[in-house]
Chains A and B, each alone.
Chain A
Amino acid sequence: MATAETGVQAASPGTGEAAVRVRDLTVVYATARGELPAVAHVDLDLPAGQITGIVGESGSGKSTLALALLNAVQRPGRILSGSVQVAGVGDVVTLGRRALRQARGGKIGYVFQASQSSLNPLKTVGKQLLDLGRSHDVADLRQLIREAKGLAEEMGLDPVRALGSYQHQLSGGMRQRVGIIFALVLNAHVLVLDEPTTALDMLSQALVLGIVRRVHRERGLTTVIITHDIGVVAELADRLAVMYAGRIVEEGRTEEVLASPLHPYTAGLIAAIPRIVGDPNRSRPLSGRPPDLTTVPPRGCPFRERCPVAMDVCEVEDPALVEVPGGRRVACHARGRGVAVR
């Protein structure tokens, strides 16, 4: 066995109706050593109406997974196999170019990292909204602008000022909100946010997350937040999926995953967060560093070198992601041996 494929078949995520259903998704990047998987045999359901947090360190494959949800992986990467079923759209992996363009923005809205800027510095926000509308063959551009202004207001921005602004005139928190306007103005029902608060300080982060929560509820969205910081999704997300080396290693309801992590990696991530209450010394650093594409071991559990409970079997067999009672999934040979954080 010793492959992730066996694991995938053993797992059967089932949590109500899924707005997005990812099955056996593998995304590879071309490297000097051939095509290597950044996302390996991922199965994930994004339950309709819920917020899912996808957490992982640099190189875990979380951003690649997010791009694959829109079939927007850029060269030298490509989707090798698997499917991404989006409700009302179909499998985005097999969608034609035109249909795909309509789906992006029209059904699935994507907000890029706060630190990067996806806005054109030479055009006002309003002009770029019109460009977006034209590229999506929107007949009534006035209505589009009205919709955008409504969204701006919903998020506490002065609509006229926001649409008349250039990128450099907006603060980090404002840019994130403008990003959300672009993602939702065509009435997308799935919202993907990649590191929405990375460059923001605490107050702006809380503000942006509060807005995400409100817009999510008011519009009945299905929302995905990609982050390296469990803290960002600890309060907001209904469910957490933890990624490591291109695999999902644990998934479940947020409070359960945080209170009793089943995977030693999840436990390590939680313990590494300095807390504002209790003894600060209960926080412990996670040892080692995450692998990248080229350093993921070809067999066995990719986490074993940093794992405090690694066993012989972890050297040779990649643990399958299996369902455990309570609608949770975990990929660890040591489960049942009691991996405790606290």
Chain B
Amino acid sequence: MGLVKTFPGRGGLLGHEPVRALRGVDFSIPAGGAVSFIGESGCGKTTLGKILTGLESYDGGTLAIDGQDVRRLPAGRRRAAFRRIQMVHQDPYAALNPTRTVAQTLSDPLRMRARELSRDQSWIDGRSEDLLRMVGLDPGFVLPRYPHMLSGGQRQRLVIARALTVDPDMLVADEAVSMIDVSLRLGILGLLRELRRELGIALLFITHDVATARYIGQDGDLYVIYRGRVVEHGPTDVVIERPVHPYTQCLLSAIPVMRGLEDAGPERVMPVSDEMAEETPCLFAPRCPFATERCRTEVPPLSHSGGTPQEHACFYPVPRRVVPVDRPVTQVGAGPRG
């Protein structure tokens, strides 16, 4: 029985219908592993991240951290369990207090940690500098500065450093690079990979961009989520190279082709409609180019039906080649001569 979360309706276009953010989502994240949740905005992936970090409650299902159902833990131990999972938000501007310097931003949580470990102020100072260096910031430069004096990329690095103050076992990165210039994203993504490799910190990477998820966790699992339900789940490269759920195929088809370097996948598909339509048993049926009557009368269960290596929730699992294909290396055009 997976996680369930329903929000009461809040008006707007969707009316006062309750919003079913999660409809029974099962997943597990191995210690030190990398797992990605992929989906459009509103699919429930952000709610999942919040539940995992204790920022949001859930209405059904169980959440176990280190094998222990957090609802059965006494309050103190529950807080401690959630503290081991830290969140890196999308917006590093909003995540930082503008009136606190970098030194203050780090020393607050470190002071708590110092008490637990019976350390003194010099430990806090040293640890601040170590953490900043670990995330690629120059302590001498950033410590006296306020968040607004840093670039977007530097701020996101600071948010990660602050998350590390409590020695977490896992980071939840929710669209952690989407507000940063494309040119600087890879630096942050590389940092997250490094933290996993060097410190064994597990990563839950939440994004709409499959290519960044692959960069972070090529060796991990990918969950594709549609309207609160997992529609496909398997090893990252299996799902990318041989996706069987039409929704996954649409998401992957949406990746722009780098002309000159790549050719379009030969079987690209697009949704037949972009509107969130009425709920049908298969939630994707109204937008699916391959839907049949069965999809509108019966819920496709998550299974390996058709003998696929990945789990999927589709009655007609057909692998399609939708991602761009690398072109062989050739020199095009004039070449580097002036």
Hey, which bits of chain A sit against chain B, CB under 8 A?
57-58, 156, 168-169, 173, 201-207, 209-210, 228-232, 234-236, 252-260, 262, 268-270, 272-278, 280, 283-286, 289-290, 322, 324-326, 328, 330, 335-340, 342
Contacts and interface: CB of A to CB of B under 8 A. Distances in A.
Nearest to A330: B338
12 contacts: A202-B209, A204-B274, A207-B274, A231-B182, A235-B264, A259-B333, A272-B183, A280-B214, A286-B184, A289-B184, A322-B338, A324-B334
Interface size bucket, B side?
35 or more
A258 B261 contact: yes
B260 A259 contact: yes
B209 A258 contact: no
Nearest to A292: B151
Contacts of B162: none
B141 to A, nearest CB: 13
A173 B274 CA distance: 9
Contacts, number: 171
Nearest to A319: B338
B28 interface: no
Contact of A57 (B183, B190, B212, B257): B183
Nearest to B334: A326
A259 B330 contact: yes
Contact of B333 (A278, A326, A340, A342): A326
The 8 nearest A-B residue pairs measured at CB: A255-B260, A326-B334, A259-B260, A206-B254, A256-B333, A201-B208, A285-B186, A274-B215
A280 B215 contact: yes
Contacts of B126: none
A201 B41 contact: yes
A272 B182 CA distance: 7
Interface string B249-287: 011111111111110100000110010000000000000
A273 B182 contact: yes
Interface in B113-130: none
Given A202-B254, A257-B260, A328 B338 contact: no
Interface string B103-146: 00000000000000000000000000000000000000000000
Contacts of A168: 12
Contacts of A231: 182, 255-256, 258
B181 A228 contact: yes
Interface of B: 12-13, 40-41, 151-153, 181-187, 189-190, 208-212, 214-215, 218, 240, 250-262, 264, 270-271, 274, 323-327, 329-338
B211 A275 contact: yes
Contact of B254 (A205, A283, A286): A205
A239 B251 CA distance: 26
A276 B256 contact: no
Contact of B185 (A156, A272, A322, A335): A272
Nearest to B287: A203
Contact of A156 (B218, B254, B274, B338): B274
Most A CB contacts (10 A, CB to CB) among B208, B264, B329 go to B208
A169 B254 contact: no
A217 to B, nearest CB: 17
B181 A328 contact: no
A325 B338 CA distance: 8
A330 B184 CA distance: 23
A201 B255 CA distance: 10
Most A CB contacts (10 A, CB to CB) among B255, B259, B334 go to B259
Nearest to B259: A255
A276 B333 contact: no
A324 B337 contact: yes
A260 B181 contact: no
B184 A260 contact: no
Contacts of B257: 234-235
A333 B40 CA distance: 44
A57 B152 CA distance: 12
A205 B240 CA distance: 19
B40 A260 contact: no
Contact of A255 (B185, B251, B332): B332
A276 B211 CA distance: 5
A285 B187 contact: yes
B336 A335 contact: yes
Nearest to A170: B13
Nearest to A59: B181
A256 B254 contact: no
A284 B335 CA distance: 22
B325 A277 contact: yes
A276 B212 CA distance: 8
Most B CB contacts (10 A, CB to CB) among A173, A203, A228, A270 go to A203
A280 B40 CA distance: 23
A290 B180 CA distance: 13
A330 B253 CA distance: 33
Contacts of B271: 203
Contacts of A283: 186, 215
Nearest to B186: A285
Contact of B260 (A210, A254, A322): A254
B261 to A, nearest CB: 5
Contact of B256 (A234, A255, A270, A322): A234
A260 B250 CA distance: 30
Given A234-B258, A336-B338, A252 B333 contact: yes
Nearest to A254: B259
